[in-house]
Structure 1
Amino acid sequence: MTTPAVSIVLPCYNSAPYLQETLDSLSAQTFTDFECLAIDDGCTDQTLAILQAHAFRDPRFQIITRENRGLIATLNEGIAAARGAWLARMDADDLAEPERLQIQLATLEQTGADVCGTWVQFFGERSGIWQTPLDDASIKLQLLFNVAFAHPSVVARTSLLREVPYDAGAVHAEDYALWCALATRGAHFVNVAQPLLRYRCHAGQITQTKRDALRQTAQRIRAAYALVLLPAALQARAVQFAEYAEPGRTLLPDDFAAYADMLLAIHQAHPVGAAVLAEAWIEAWQRTQPAAQTLPVVGRLRAALPFALERSGFYRKQWIKHRLGQGVLQALQRLTGKGSR
């Protein structure tokens, strides 16, 4: 049996409603030298029957079936079983564009990167394109704030993933932990500026309980990674930085000012990541309690880290909100009746 160039790892847990479309999108890849390791993680629906029928038609698909062990154990099992030099991720409800593997492998060869993701097209209950940072430096900087890869879009060196497998202690944030661990080891990253994966959005993908656990785990990962990437003068404040950067946290105006100073210091150390840092301060300003005292801070940030043109409308709305301040906004809400809803 010849060794395939790519091993696709496809975890499946009660995936019957959308699985056949996913399998068909993989069989239709223009790059054909792959194996797909479809792992039945203790499914109780028709997932296994769908996998078996598809494997009968396309022998590149191999099925591993056993009791439920969870996503992280399933991913690491797939990495251990992979025969290809490259390992591609895929979820059982998403769709790969026909050129996905071909374009990603060409990008990996051209750049010498170890990990390659792509932009993602949302469909189903959400639309739009998730545009992740493209170059190695920007991706590593983005990891200070949040994930920089769409997990099911990634192709990576199998040998590297065997050296640094998914962390069993990072439940619900296993991909974020992996990217930070690989970045710390000096892996070279790249993203393709094309939506080569269609990401299906549907109800029940992540429960509130899982979301809370993800936030706690991500906060721990973010603080540890900050110790590695922050400038030396900020490393003693890594935990505080991670708290300010947490997307679900509301900032006070003084918090925002302190965070702004941190972002500007990071820019001095990593000037090529200006676009990532610009998005970071815009996002933080949005979750800061409205106050006019943020406006001079924003002036400094805007001068050093200008935002993308498409953010202009958002910026104007935020400026008005902060110019009015919390008290005026609350009074307007009471007058319009929105505050009581």
Structure 2
Amino acid sequence: MEHRIDVSVIIPVYNCEPWLEAQLTSVLGQDGVEIEVIAVCDGATDRSLAILQAIAAQDRRVRVIAQENRGVSASRNVGLSLARGDWIVFADGDDWIKPGALRRWIAQGRDNDLDVVIGNGFAFDALPAPAQPSPMYEHQPWGEVCDGRTWMMRTIPDDDWAVCVWLQCMRREFIERFGLRFEEGVVHEDIIWTLQFAQHAQRMGFVKDPLYGYRRNPDSIINSPSDASLARRATGYLRVIDALVNAARTLREDRPFHKLLLRQVNREGGNYLHLLRKRLQSSELRRQFALTFINKGYVWVMLRGATNASEVWRALRCWRILSRLGRLPESKTH
């Protein structure tokens, strides 16, 4: 008889050597649940793979997959294809989980017959983590059970939509029933993934206590100052906006939800503008990305999604600034 596994913890690992042992210790120390850890070493160039293999040699609950660098989405998809647990949890290799977190999340899911449990997290710089950390999310439907559409309708207006995949504990049967997978090769893939599953989830519940620790890592791709990383992020935002627009088009008959998705486009357009203006240094890349945004008609979509004066101003500001960034230099116009 096969041993029952309560939860599969899928951990993509890329150059996490300084933090990996503490992360695995926090996961393997979770009490009250039977765990398997699927650690996907994604072409790491440091000692991450050696650390994983050493831990796996001491703890049979750890499975290590080594692959060429394919990105975090591909790594999570590999983990999903191998997972055997009743529930799926994602974690990052530089983060840390409080004792009892997985037991709390899974009990919430089982007691309420949920498809998805949304937890809460906190940010930290170094261990030991703060004893009473500030929670990342304040306006989730705590204590309630709702479907994915209602969840988005409740949280997006407050800018509290929990798209962090490491706060999402899901029933594996739910993931497989709808063939849910991460879109590979895309930065900000968490938004597309969350949009995807929320359209299928019928029963979602919430755990308010901040139990997952997100390490503020200056070496992560989100914080990288290189133009190559920033260009990947800009491309990711374009893909996210495209996914939101397509979903809104499909759900046009549901006018409130249609409008909500366009409102999220307005917000992501503001993030895109900030990235181009404040982070990206290459004037040629700025010009290309500005023109792409304008040519796709996303400024008009932002206007359609605006629900207040601030959001109208955000759309008009995008038009004004991106139009300027998209102009050819004077020397190239003659």
Q: Which moved more, 1:232-241 or 1:83-92?
A: 232-241
Q: Secondary structure at the residue paired with 1:122?
A: strand
1:118–1:150: 8 Å Cα contact kept in structure 2?
Answer: no
From 158, 165, 187, the counterpart of 1:151:
165
Letter in 1 for 2:175: L
Measure, in 1, the Cα distance between the counterparts of 2:304 and 2:188.
Answer: 29
Query: Relative to 1, partners in 2 of residues 1:216 and 1:56: Cα closer, same or farther, differing over 3 Å?
Result: same
Tell me which amino acid in the other structure corresponds to 1:36: V
Change (3 A) 1:23 1:237: closer
Contact 1:86 1:155 in 2 (8 A): yes
Residues 1:54 and 2:101 aligned together: no
Q: Does 1:101 align with 2:102?
A: yes
TM-score (norm 2): 0.69
The answer (yes or no) to whether the contact 1:12–1:38 under 8 Å persists in 2 is yes
Give unpaired runs (5+ residues) of structure 2. Answer: 225-229, 275-298, 318-334
Matched, 1:3 2:4: yes
Q: Contact conserved, 1:166 with 1:175, CA < 8 A, in 2? A: no
Q: Give the superposition deviation at 1:57.
A: 2.5
What CA deviation, in whole Å up to 9, does each residue of 1:227-284 have, x standing for no partner? 466764578878864543434369x9xx8898227xxxxxxxxxxxxxxxxxxx9x84
| Other-structure match for 2:181 | 166
- C-alpha distance in 1 between matches for 2:312 and 2:216: 27
- The answer to whether the 8 A contact 1:41-1:68 is kept is yes
Distance in 2 of aligned mates of 1:170 and 1:188: 30
1 CA distance for matches of 2:235 and 2:77?
21
Counterpart position of 2:210: 195
Question: Which SS does the other structure have where 2:19 is aligned?
Answer: helix
Between the aligned partners of 1:118 and 1:63, the Cα distance in structure 2 is 26
Cα displacement (A) at 1:219: 1.1
Instruction: Calculate the aligned-residue CA RMSD, in Å.
Output: 3.4
Q: Aligned equivalents of 2:264 and 2:305: distance in 1?
A: 12
In structure 2, the residue matched to 1:219 is: 241
Greater gyration radius? 1
Question: What's the % identity of the aligned pairs?
Answer: 24
**Which position in structure 1 is the counterpart of 2:152?**
140
CA distance in 1, matches of 2:66, 2:304: 53
Counterpart pick for 2:307 among 236, 260, 264: 260
Q: Deviation digits for residues 73-102 of structure 1, max 9, x if unmatched?
A: 211111110111111111101101111111
Distance 2:95 2:258 in 1: 41
Asked if 1:130 corresponds to 2:144, the answer is no
1:59 deviates by 1.8
The residue number in structure 2 matching 1:210 is: 232
Output aligned runs, 1:248-327, within 5 Å: 248=271, 259-260=306-307, 284=311
> How many residues end up aligned between the 2 structures?
267
Kept after mapping to 1: 8 A contact 2:71/2:184:
no
Deviation readout 1:307-329 (Å, 9 max, x if unpaired): xxxxxxxxxxxxxxxxxxxxxxx
Aligned 8 A contact 2:40 2:64 in 1: yes
The amino acid across from 2:217 in the alignment is H
1:36 corresponding residue in structure 2: 37
**Alpha-carbon contact 1:164-1:178 (below 8 Å) kept:** no
What letter corresponds to residue 244 of structure 1 in structure 2? Answer: N
- Amino acid across the alignment from 2:212: L
Write the distance in 2 (CA, Å) between the matches of 1:82 and 1:113: 19
CA offset digits 1:212-234 (Å, max 9, x no partner):
12321221122233346676457
> 2:195: which partner in 1?
180
Alpha-carbon distance between aligned partners in 1 of 2:62 and 2:77, rounded to the nearest angstrom: 18
Is the partner of 2:108 in helix, strand or coil?
Answer: helix
**Alpha carbons of 1:49 and 1:188: their partners in 2 closer, same or farther (altered >3 Å)?**
same
TM-score by length of 1: 0.67
Describe the shift of the 1:230–1:203 C-alpha distance in structure 2 as closer, same or farther (beyond 3 A).
farther
Instruction: Give the secondary-structure state (helix, strand or coil) at the position aligned to 2:99.
Output: coil
Shift of 1:107: 0.8
Q: Secondary structure at the match of 2:121?
A: strand
The aligned amino acid for 2:136 is W
The residue number in structure 2 matching 1:326 is none
* SS of structure 2 residue aligned to 1:16: coil
Unaligned stretches of 5+ in structure 1?
A: 262-280, 291-341
Whole-Å separation in 1 of the counterparts to 2:104 and 2:190 = 22
Shift of 1:176: 1.6
Give the drift of 1:35: 0.7
CA distance in 2, matches of 1:193, 1:11: 26
Counterpart secondary structure, 2:15? coil
Deviations 1:286-319 (A, max 9, x none): 95899xxxxxxxxxxxxxxxxxxxxxxxxxxxxx
Residues 166 and 174, structure 1, Cα contact 8 Å, conserved in 2: no
